[in-house]
Amino acid sequence: MNKFLLPLGIFIVLVAFLAIGLNLNPREVPSPLIGKPAPAFTLPQLHQPEATFAPKDLQGRVWLLNVWASWCVSCRQEHPILVDLAKRNIVPIYGLNYKDPREDALRWLKQFGDPYVLSIADVEGRVGIDYGVYGVPETYVIDKAGVIRFKQIGPVTQDVLEKTILPLIRELQK
Amino acid sequence: MIPELGHFALILALLVALVQGTLPLAGAARGSRAWIAVARPAAQAQFLLVAFAFGCLTWAFVSHDFSVAYVAQHSNSRLPLEYRLSGVWGGHEGSLLLWLFMLSGWTVAVALFSRHLPDAMVARVLGVLGLITVGFLAFILLTSNPFERLLPAAEDGRDLNPLLQDPGLIFHPPMLYMGYVGFSVAFAFAIAALLSGQLDAAWARWSRPWTTTAWAFLTLGIALGSWWAYYELGWGGWWFWDPVENASFLPWLVGTALIHSLAVTEKRGSFKNWTVLLAIAAFSLSLLGTFLVRSGVLTSVHAFATDPRRGIFILILLAIVVGASLFLFALRAPKVGLGGRFGLVSRESLLLMNNVLLVVATGSVLLGTLYPLFIDALGLGKLSVGPPYFNAVFVPLMVPLLILMAPGPLARWKHADMRPVLKQLVPAFVAALLLGVAVPLLYGGWRPLTALGVLLAAWIAGGTGVAIAGRLRGGLSGQPLHWWGMHLAHVGVAVFVVGVTMVSSYQEEKDVRMAPDDTVTVGGYTFRFIGVRKEMGPNYQAMVGELELSRDGKVLRTMKPEKRAYLTSAMPMTEAAIDTGLLRDVYVSLGEPIDERAWSVRVYYKPFVDWIWGGCLLMALGGIVAISDRRYRLKRRAAALQGATA
Amino acid sequence: MKPRHKRFALIGGGIAVLGIAAALVLNAFQSNLVFFFTPTQVAAGEAPIGKTFRIGGMVKEASLQRQPDGLTVRFIVTDTAKEFPVAYKGILPDLFREGKGVVAQGKLGEDGLFTASEVLAKHDENYMPPEAQHAVDQAGKAAKTVKQ
């Protein structure tokens, strides 16, 4: 045995641990809310602040809840995908506008397109807490019984949409 | 347009770096002069391209170009100019670009200031640096492009993290990276020596000034970071043994071992393998630090945004760079001779002890830093290793090191008789003993550890005094600068030890509820709470407290700690108010409002705390003085002649 | 002294340093490692009494109470499954908020109250300390398995 191989050996063990350590920090954390009813709330709508919205209004339908904000850069990344999805008329998308001044939010939608049936204004971020929002954007799939079936943390990608979200929605819509 | 130019410059730089990383190395191996000659111009071109890219990003910040995603995330139209400039490295992408900029800066410095080195050696060094550059450029271009567009542009930026909006943070990252990245030069010299098989004293002499420069910058960078944490985090601590701090401290410890071991290799030709291994280790730990900070595998108060893809990339880079160099080491090291012999008691053996202690200390810090990760990886639960672990392990290991610092510089090379050395040191010991007993008794009560700290600091300073006195007869002006540099750095350590000892022994801290006209006293200083009022800053709103500081009934000044709320990020920030003095700091920070009139307030009395950073400054200065020594330039010329004739 | 003896002496010295360091490390590990527990684990009695550990999760909404002295606070840490009361005397970090992630380090008393000596919250608005996140995730997983 070459004793000069010792540093290399130690280093290889170290790298192995670091590699395992990297995998321990998965970004997609299982949400405690999956399989539980979507928390109830009543909040004003973004476009018509006098009207309100509550999740129970959508009982009997499968819908997507997308948390977004005008200050969120990743939201722009996923936004074209949502706009495109809205055009396909597969599933209604509801937006939860998180901690955003109303004017900014409206301007943002005007600029990038509005894929939402309606947006809910959560200026204080209260509902965000109930839903365990880690960061914006996040997207929830909610079934006919009002139960959260899936949660996407971070932007929705085409890949996640086609391979996970859409098949799940087709299943739930049956 | 300008961001695209910057991006394009980075792509060109990658191409140039590929050339720089291959042709000169191949040329040196084959003895092709034409290929070897590529190294210097390639390094220069690469530097210009990276500098241009860096300039482009800076311009995007200065001109509020929110169509660049990175600028939109880290700047704001109300952000003052100085923080727009430092915002360039306020996030992940930009700090990597800074890393790269430093690397190309070091590379071009080697290209410019190595006229007297053999061309083949320079080609190898620049080639190795070129390969590292390729790795980092690929990392930036593939996973962390700072020039990515955000179209259409954001109305306004999200603002720079308020923690980073601070003068200390303008200089901390560049200094730290100068040091971190500077070890890449020592690394490249070591690899070049291994490749060429010429592992001799000349190599150590060439590598020494570069290593010392990098070490001095790293010292300054760490000190600035510590100073920043002290006044900006509002907790009054100066070192938290946080993983991110440890990430910069580990290369420093090994770098310190390296500059000492290089001295032996240069003077006596011994420790050659060991020195090479340390050079590899110092840079590897810099890379490991980058990995730990940028991948987010460890929990840290510094909480950088993280992305696992980036972590994987750096890990692969780390594995390739370090794995390949350790493999090369394993191949070449057995063929290296032992070098000059030395006695059991000699300057060499004392420096060997220095190295063993520093490396073991590095190991213990590394273990403590990575232990939570190991345990988590093995599925044994989640835990954290806090400051008590590091204090319990690190401090005892430093004690023998500090004791050796006085006799070390007095001992002779090759074979030393310690009796005259120790005899010389008797006055220093007596003085240290007296101070060690007197200071705690006079200052605020007997504590054995305080006495030990003061004694050690005085012992080191005394050792330096004895060394200087011993040379007085020889004429002080005759002493070379590197000798002065060493002693200056050692005195810096003594000053640092005084600071640490005094502040950890005699600091006072109080959390109190204060209504107007309430008073609180720490360390003989009395604070009277006057009130809190609202003020507007450029991009924040502040609650500014007013407290009157007095001592023995004499009013000294008014202190104004702030609680800021930044407009864009809504993030609260505590800005402490500090009255700095040579022998003590008094420190006050605002907590939160309790009712209409009262606030919770935290006050500290910190004796000698500024000596900590003063000591670091002296250490860094010592390094700078040492490398200004003429003999490096003279001997380099001589070495070049030697190399030419050999 | 013969070179061989010298070599032994040097190696012996090195091993002695390593041994001392190992002893220091083991000793420090024994007394200074701070384990992390979720509120569910603490409620189940897995956490030691009278020994320092960390508890993490989210600060329950509307659970923050300030005692009359203005400095002592009580709040509830939850991982959405179980809740646990925490007392702390001192100034809370800037980003301590109800509904946000938190990690408290301290000791559990016989009376079932966790007295924190240190409260950590992170320096980023949208950030949850990984340990706190871990606690919430664990509770989530447990809830799911119960359901199945």
For residue B88, pLDDT over 70 is answered with yes
C35-147 topology per CATH = OB fold (Dihydrolipoamide Acetyltransferase, E2P) (2.40.50)
Segments of chain A with pLDDT less than 50:
25-30
pLDDT (0 to 100) of residue B165: 82
What interface predicted TM-score (ipTM) does this complex get?
Answer: 0.77
Q: Using one digit for the tens of pLDDT, what is the confidence trace for B153-183?
A: 777 777 777 777 888 778 888 898 999 899 9
A36/chain C closest Cα distance in angstroms: 9
For residue B452, pLDDT over 80 is answered with yes
Q: Using one digit for the tens of pLDDT, what is the confidence trace for B369-384?
A: 888 878 777 777 677 7
C-alpha distances out from residue B570 to A107, A166, C125, Å = 21, 36, 8
pLDDT (0 to 100) of residue B78: 87
The region of weakest confidence among B97-101, B208-212, B326-330, B638-642 is: B638-642
Query: For an interface test with B, which of C1, C29, C94 has the most B Cβ atoms less than 10 Å from its Cβ?
Result: C94
For residue B442, pLDDT over 70 is answered with yes
What is the CB neighbour count within 10 angstroms for residue A51? 10
Q: Are C98 and C60 in contact (CB under 8 A)?
A: yes
Q: What is the mean pLDDT of chain B?
A: 88
What band does B297 get if pLDDT is binned at 50, 70 and 90? low
C contacts of B161 (beta carbons < 8 Å): 123-124
Q: Quick one: closest CA in C to A127, which residue?
A: C99
Q: Do C36 and B386 touch (CB under 8 A)?
A: no
Size of interface A-C (CB pairs under 8 A): 34
Q: Using one digit for the tens of pLDDT, what is the confidence trace for B318-332?
A: 999 999 999 999 988
For residue B641, pLDDT over 60 is answered with no
What predicted TM-score, i.e. pTM, was given to this entire model? Answer: 0.82
| 3-class secondary structure per residue, B36-100 | HCCHHHHHHHHHHHHHHHHHHHHHHHHCCCCCEHHHHHHCCCCCCHHHHHHHCCCCHHHHHHHHH
Q: Do B381 and C71 touch (CB under 8 A)?
A: no
Mean pLDDT along residues B67-74: 88
pLDDT (0 to 100) of residue B187: 96
**Which among A107, A94, A112 has a CA at the least distance from the CA of A45?**
A94
Which comes out higher in pLDDT, residue B422 or C68?
Answer: B422
**Which among B375, B221, B233, B236 has a CA at the least distance from the CA of B300?**
B233
Segments of chain C with pLDDT less than 50:
123-130, 140-148
Residue type (1 letter), B567? L
Query: For an interface test with A, which of B278, B369, B374, B380 has the most A Cβ atoms less than 10 Å from its Cβ?
Result: B374
B472 interfacial to chain C (CB closer than 8 Å): no
Domains and CATH numbers, chain A: 33-173 (3.40.30.10)
Q: Using one digit for the tens of pLDDT, what is the confidence trace for B220-233?
A: 999 998 998 888 77
Residue type (1 letter), C28? A
C111/chain A closest Cα distance in angstroms: 30
Mean pLDDT along residues B569-575: 75
Residue B136 contacts by C-beta under 8 Å, 6 or more apart in sequence?
B96, B99, B100, B103, B317
**Which among C116, C31, C35, C18 has a CA at the least distance from the CA of B391?**
C31
A37 interfacial to chain C (CB closer than 8 Å): no
Q: Quick one: closest CA in C to A35, which residue?
A: C144
Query: For an interface test with B, which of A12, A23, A71, A107 has the most B Cβ atoms less than 10 Å from its Cβ?
Result: A71
Locate the DSSP E strands across chain C. Answer: 33-37, 53-59, 65-66, 72-78, 83-89, 101-108, 114-120
What is the CB neighbour count within 10 angstroms for residue A159? 8
For residue B435, pLDDT over 70 is answered with yes
B contacts of A11 (beta carbons < 8 Å): 284, 322-323, 326
Q: Do C136 and A132 touch (CB under 8 A)?
A: yes
